[in-house]
Each structure stands twice: as structure tokens, then as C-alpha cells.
Amino acid sequence: MSNIIKTEAVVLNKINYGDSSNIVTLFTKDFGKISAIIKGGRNPKSKIGLVADPLNHLQIVMYKKDSREIQIISSIDLITYFAKIREDFEKLKYAFAVIELVKKLTVENEKNLKLFKGLIRILTLFNVSQEKEIIIFGRFFIFLLSERGYEMQLNKCSICGTTDLSRSLLSYNFERGILCGNCRKNHIESFPLSAELFEYMFCLKNNQSIENKINYETMERAILFLEKYLNYHVPDFKGIQSFQIFK
């Protein structure tokens, strides 16, 4: 027997199904990630189909049955459209990268209210903040890694324990953690960290302000580092595909 459920959701993905329907992947406030069908969603007169687009923040009513893999949506109301994201190429690029990561790193029917609130917050920041989109994305990437159990340790050398990690060339061994300038000489490094890259990563992780002196190439290298870090922990992860689409 199905239960009639009302909850908030962000659309992560939308695909065509059959002759006239859509299947959407949603990250919901009360049930985590779920898949649901919108019957007749591709009909031009379907209000539900029109508002159930990726990135949209919705309130949905659905017929939910635990034994069913794909739930059935009966109605949708739009809460937030995030119009400014859709008007800006960079905002759209990084917003789609966010929902791609949430889709890939979460499992079905696992509630995570903190992550849901974080997802709404990050989309809101893309929509209204003056901070660079790449910085906003970097903060969310690290937050998501922590929420999924892959928190990165940047406070001390994983070998000798020293906390004086500034002003030197460091490296990150994906098995052990961060290595100071002395310890990196005796261990195979996985990823070199310049002083600037380390400073930037530390600021992202601790939600500190980013100095203008950090160049854009360092910010891009930070994303490459985070992708490689995630790939080490999740071998099936092959990089953020949204970046290729928005080239």
C-alpha cells in the first residue's frame, strides 16, 4: 500500500521515459535520494513536468511505497527557481557539478537533513553571492566529502605530527594524509601541494575568507586534487562530467 507523502526536494537529474513521462532523481528533505516518475510530464500542458527541472527546489506530493524503486509524483509546487544561476554560464557549470556530486555520492533512501540544507544553501549562494563560483563549489566539495565519511585531514603531518605546515612544499599521500616538507622526502607522494594550494585548501575546509592573492590556476588545481582524492576513496568515480559538458 502506498502512503501519500509531502516533502521538499531538489531535482538532481531528469530523463525521458516512455512516450510521454519523465523519471527524476530527487534529493529530498525527509527521505534522501529517491527516483520518481512524472506520468505525462512531457505533455506541454503538464505543470508538473515544466517545473521538475534540475536545480529547482520543489515541494512535492508523491505516492511512496518502500518496496517500489520508483515512486509516483502526484503534484509539485515550485519553491525556488534560482534564476540568476541559469543566466550565468559559470554559476550553471558549478551548480550542475554540485548536483552531479550529490547524485553520485549518496545512496537511495538515506535521509541526511544536514546535506539537504547544505545543498539548498550552496544553490542560494550561487544565486546571490558575489564570491567566485569556483570558491563556493570548493567549499561544498569538502563539506560533501566530510558528510560521506571521507573527511580530509590538513592540520598536521600524518607522519611526524608537526603542525607547522605553512611556507613549504607539502604533499598529500592519499593513504596516509598530508606530509610535511621533511617527511615527503621519504615517502611516495600522491599529490604535491604548494604553499599557496595548501593555504587555499585550509581556508576552504575551515570556511575562512579567501585572499585575492590566490590565483585562479591554484583554485582549479584544488578541484583536480579533490577529484583525485575522491577517486582514491571511491574508485568508480571518474571525475566531474559536468565540467566536460560546460567546456
Taking only the tens place, the pLDDT of each residue in 137-147 is: 999 999 999 99
User: Does residue 1 carry a pLDDT above 80?
Assistant: no
- Highest average pLDDT, of 40-49, 184-193, 227-236, comes from 227-236
Residue range 1-21: mean pLDDT, rounded? 91
pLDDT at 152: 92
pLDDT at 169: 84
pTM here is: 0.93
Residue range 116-127: mean pLDDT, rounded? 97
Residue range 162-184: mean pLDDT, rounded? 88
For 185, the grid coordinates are 622526502
User: Does residue 126 carry a pLDDT above 80?
Assistant: yes
User: Does residue 161 carry a pLDDT above 90?
Assistant: yes
**CA separation for the pair 156, 162 (Å, rounded):** 5
Contact 180, 204 (CB under 8 A): no
User: Does residue 59 carry a pLDDT above 70?
Assistant: yes
Segment (H or E) for 75: strand 70-80
* Residue 38 phi, psi dihedral angles, 5° rounding: -110, 100
**CA separation for the pair 175, 205 (Å, rounded):** 19
Could you tell me the CA-to-CA distances from 193 to 101, 123, 207 in Å, in that order? Answer: 24, 29, 19
Report residue 18's pLDDT band, with 50, 70 and 90 as the boundaries: confident
pLDDT at 185: 84
Digit-coded pLDDT (tens) for 92-116: 999 999 999 999 999 999 999 999 9
Burial of 71 (0-12, 13-18, 19+ CB in 10 A): buried
Residue range 84-99: mean pLDDT, rounded? 96
